[in-house]
Amino acid sequence: MARSFLLKLHRGEGPFFGFLKRLILASMRSSFTPPRAIKPLFCFFYHAHYAVSFGFRQFLNIIYRGPLFKARCETVGRNLSIWSMPAIVGPVRIFIGDDVEIFGHLGVTSGRIFDEPRLVIGDRVDIGHNIQITVNREVVIEEEVNIASGVRILDTDAHPRDTDARAKGLPPPEAEIKAVRIGRRAWLGQSCFIMKGVTVGEGAVIGANSVVVTDIPPYAVAIGNPARVVVKDVRQAAAPGKSAEPAPPRA
């Protein structure tokens, strides 16, 4: 009976169900706009809402999330800032430097192919929201790296290339697991993928949604899938009197 009622309501059959459907849709779309006289009061409540939310989050970070996460790490430097509890799975050993900021969800996953996979995060690294790092051998993020939201860093393909081994659910062999290094002051754009064995050079910039499968030279700009260098030296391109137009992609 309830199912029949909901179906008729969804279809808006007849005058009664049609009126009821229109009434529900109107209530979902309508919103109260405060009169000008009391608008400052509502504005105050708006800011108060976020002040209370932020304050409570920081309180939890200080007394709960921060201590638990630090206990899971091998070493943590001064002034770590986190917005939510990082999710760590597997035996990875984590080393974090000074003044690191994690602005949202961070997931770190490791397998048991190597006894002590390592994730090293240097000083003054900024890590955005919804970051996933897969560490089966080693991932090193050097000082002052900026990682935008949605980035994926993987030192393995997660499954072996061999079809039979993959069908049997076997882990990838050690030869297919290759360390990743992100050079100091590099910038990883939103939702890019840094794949196994890659070194992103110092000061390099990786464009949004790019997939990096080969090394990127220092101070280069790389975009695309697979990522290709479009500017060879951002320092030279940005210098006074120099052309800032990107160089053609490498072959």
Active site residues: 159
Encoding tokens for residue 95?
């080393």
Report CA-CA distances (Å) from 41 to 38, 183, 187: 5, 49, 42
Q: What is the DSSP string of 210-224?
A: -EE-S-B-TT-EEET
Q: Which two tokens stand for residue 215?
A: 């090394």
Helix axes 14-29, 2-11, angle to 10 degrees: 70
241 contact partners, CB below 8 Å, separation of at least 6? none
Q: Which residue has the tokens 């949604």?
A: 209
Q: How far is residue 232's CA from residue 223's CA, in Å, rounded to a whole number?
A: 12
First CA to last CA distance, the chain: 67
Q: Distance between CA 56 and CA 45 in Å, rounded?
A: 16
Q: Which amino acid is at 33?
A: T
